[in-house]
Amino acid sequence: MKIRHTLILLFAILLFAGNSSAAECNKEQPRIVNIINFIRLLEPRDPVNISEDVLFDAVKQEASMLKQYELPGTFLIQYDALIVPRYQQLLKEELYEGSEVGAWWEITQPHVEAAGLKWRGRFPWDWHAHVGFATGYTPQEREILVDVYMAKFKEIFGSYPRAVGAWYIDAHTLQYMHDKYGIVASCNCRDQYGTDGYTLWGGYWNQGYYPSRHNAYMPAQNAAEQIDVPIFRMLGSDPIYQYDTSVGGVQNVITLEPACHGVGDNPKWVDWYFRTMFTQPCLDYNYVHVGQENSFTWERIRGGYEVQIPRVADYRAQGIVRVETLSESGEWFLQNYPLTPATAVTAMEDHNGNPVRSVWYNSRFYRANMMWSHDSFRFRDIHFFDERITSDYLTEPGTSNKCTFLTMPLVDGFLWSTQQEWAGLRLVEISSDGTTREIALGVPEIEEQGQTLIVRCTPESGACKITLSESSIEFQYDNTEVLWALELGVAHGKQMPFDSIRKKSIDARFNSHDYTIELHRGHFGRVVGLNSGLRIYPDGNTIILDCNLLQ
């Protein structure tokens, strides 16, 4: 182990010695790692092979490895495991110094019954959303569940937890935890569509954000409407390939999760992912969640843990990353950002060596993704945020075994694609007969200016500059010899949310919510025969899209 550890450290030193810009970027823009493991008492989906002893052993092994590499971790625990003495002893006595214990907010039978409520699940822990999430309970019941958990946690550990995580926590519960018990950080699931019955789609893609008081999945635009608890996105999605996997259906998983076989336990992929997240432009800071729930068992987690944890320790030893608990990161966020900052994830190389690149931009107003694949470029995703949109679960309990959290799309390259037709907003040349051809943009170069990300490309002719700022996207193409536009292509049969397309604005309706998309510069056009019906024409050489729905 020591020889392997030394070789990885030597490799990293050589890498950064030849990449001074990456090292300088890291000094100015912190790269934060949270090692978050969450704890369940039992696994009813496979009770024969995954016993309570097997689950306990997974947590014990995770804690042991973090202690071996002297890394602080965050262990989030469900109520059913919280009340078990051996977990209490483990978390009090065997965690590395500086680690923390917090709450994992999946609801279980012992928790519900301790709150004097009736359990409706199929098993003592049931992953179905209407019983396993707080969203399945009334707001008053959610408060009782919080009070019961907090009282028991304080009885055991002497204080209230400062960090609470779950695949999703509703705004009412989060606000109540903040106001009454002073939590400073939370975490939720990465974006996914339909996986395990949970859909979180169109949100702040990575790093952290302040949620709206009306909708914990929706970033707030103003301080008066935000819950002052930063939510960090978990599980480490592949910034190139996760988005498109299984287009139009239930997504597969391409993530940093140690149990994600062939990815999170693949040294080549992990080295590429860490290099992307720790050395590439990110605007303000970058964030990586390492860790896994014990339900996967140590047998499945071990391979990924043994790949990832030594590498995190090496990056930390070089001063490239900060390894913190979730609550430490939350406190840092609160001290540095009165509002959700703009951030980026830039993947300028593909781990397979293909000419494929991806850039994600997030702000409190919108998210956007740009994708380069061989000679093709497209805006693969543009979703807008609106703090006024109330979650379906804010005041009423969910009754379905599934749950859905969405934002407002202009471009959705996942839902509007098929394996044969890939949706996206593309730069096209318009010929005199009205036909179009895609213009290849060439290799992108990234420039950071405060909250603004600038992407410069050299197409086959002319020059292209894309400016993503906090509340707008500006697209410039300097080529006076061609008539050009940005054209939204979607697969046949896909239903667009656009009710009315006017010259300077679009009225749209999605997920029962109305919204209006406007242009500061350029104009919209409806195109007969085009699947989406939508094209954006420039004013001179420029299009400026207004990404602030509140105006």
Residue 402 CB-half CA count within 13 A: 12
CB neighbour burial string for 477-488, b if at least 16 within 10 angstroms, e if fewer: bebeeeebbbbb
The helix/strand count (H/E) of the chain reads as 12, 31
Q: Which two tokens stand for residue 128?
A: 């179905």
Read off the pTM. Answer: 0.92
Mark out the alpha helices in 2-128 (DSSP H runs).
2-17, 20-28, 52-68, 79-82, 85-93, 109-114
Q: How far is CA 284 from CA 321, 339, 349, 461, in A?
A: 14, 13, 21, 33
Nearest 5 degrees, angle CA 239-CA 244-CA 245?
Answer: 105
Residue where a domain stops, chosen among 279, 308, 337: 337
Tell me which residue has tokens 């966020």.
333
User: Checking DSSP bridges between strand 208-209 and strand 356-362, what pairing results, if any?
Assistant: unpaired
Angle at 362 between CA 356 and CA 364, to 5 degrees: 170
Same domain membership, residue 315 and residue 425: no
CA dist., res. 147 & res. 41, Å (int) = 21
Name residue 113's amino acid.
Answer: E
Q: How far is CA 392 from CA 122, 136, 395, 478, 497, in A?
A: 24, 11, 8, 45, 19
CATH number at residue 331: 3.20.20.510
pLDDT at 366: 98
Q: Is 551 within the bounds of a domain? A: no
d(CA 109, CA 123): 8
Full residue range of the structural domain in which residue 454 is found? 356-546
Grouping H, G, I as helix, E, B as strand and the rest as coil, residue 183 is coil
319 with 360, same domain: the answer is no
Calpha distance 501→533 (Å, rounded)? 9
Q: Are residues 364 and 333 in the same domain?
A: no
Q: Is residue 346 part of a domain?
A: no
Q: Rounded distance, CA 279 to CA 273, Å? A: 10
- Residue 69 φ/ψ, nearest 5 degrees: -100, 10
Q: How many domains does the chain have?
A: 2
Q: Alpha helix (H) ranges present in 135-199?
A: 139-157, 171-181
CA-to-CA distance for 101 and 160, rounded, in angstroms? 10
Does residue 209 form part of some domain?
yes
- Bridge pairing between strands 208-209 and 343-347: unpaired
Calculate the alpha carbon distances from 101 to 21, 90, 164, 170 in Å: 37, 11, 9, 21
Bridge-based pairing of strands 74-77 and 100-104 is: parallel
Separation of alpha carbons 381 and 355, rounded Å: 20
Residue 48, C-beta contacts closer than 8 angstroms, at least 6 positions apart: none
Rounded to an integer, what distance in angstroms lies between the CA atom of residue 270 and that of residue 263? 7
Quick one: 333 and 360 in the same domain?
no
Phi-psi region of 365 (alpha: psi -120 to 50; beta: other; left: phi over 0): alpha
Pick from 303, 337, 371: which residue ends a domain? 337
Look at the block and give the residue holding tokens 């949310």. Answer: 497
The alpha carbon torsion through 292, 295, 296, 299 (nearest 10 deg) reads 110
CA–CA distance, 272 with 291 (Å, rounded to integer): 18
Low-confidence ranges of the chain (pLDDT < 70): 1-27
**Could you tell me if 106 and 218 lie in one domain?**
yes
pLDDT tens readout for residues 305-339: 999 999 999 999 999 999 999 999 999 999 999 99
Please give the helix or strand (H or E) that residue 313 lies within, else none. helix 297-317
CA distances from 175 to 178, 216, 389, 399 (A): 5, 9, 17, 22
Whether residue 326 is found in the same domain as residue 371:
no
Q: How far apart are CA 214 and CA 216, in angstroms?
A: 7
Judge whether 154 and 160 are in contact, CB under 8 Å.
Answer: yes
Q: Which helix (H) or strand (E) holds 235?
A: none
Do 331 and 360 lie in a common domain? Answer: no
Is the same domain home to 309 and 382? no
Q: How far is CA 453 from CA 138, 218, 220, in A?
A: 42, 22, 21
Residue 183: what residue type? I
Q: Does a structural domain hold residue 212?
A: yes
Pick the last residue of a domain from 337, 369, 392. Answer: 337
223 close to 214: Cβ distance less than 8 angstroms: no
The reply to whether 350 falls in a domain is no
- pLDDT at 27 (0 to 100): 53
Helix axis angle, 85-93 to 52-68, nearest 10°: 0
Question: Which tokens go with 298?
Answer: 């140590």
Domain assignment present for 135: yes
Q: What share of the chain is helix, strand, coil (3-state, %, to 5)?
A: 30, 30, 40
Q: Is 14 inside a domain boundary?
A: yes
Q: Does 90 share its domain with 125?
A: yes
Question: Is the domain of 333 the same as that of 385?
Answer: no
Residue written as token pair 């703009």: 342
Q: Which two tokens stand for residue 346?
A: 């830039």
Q: Considering the domain boundaries, does residue 180 fall inside one? A: yes
Q: Which of 258, 272, 239, 213 is nearest to 391 (CA)?
A: 213
Cα separation, 74 vs 290, in Å, equals 10
Q: What angle do CA 204, 210, 214 make, to 5 degrees?
A: 95
Give yes or no for a contact between 69 and 309, defined as CB atoms under 8 angstroms apart. yes
Are both 292 and 364 inside the same structural domain? no
What is the rounded CA–CA span in Å between residue 207 and residue 229?
Answer: 13
Residues 114 and 203 in one domain: yes
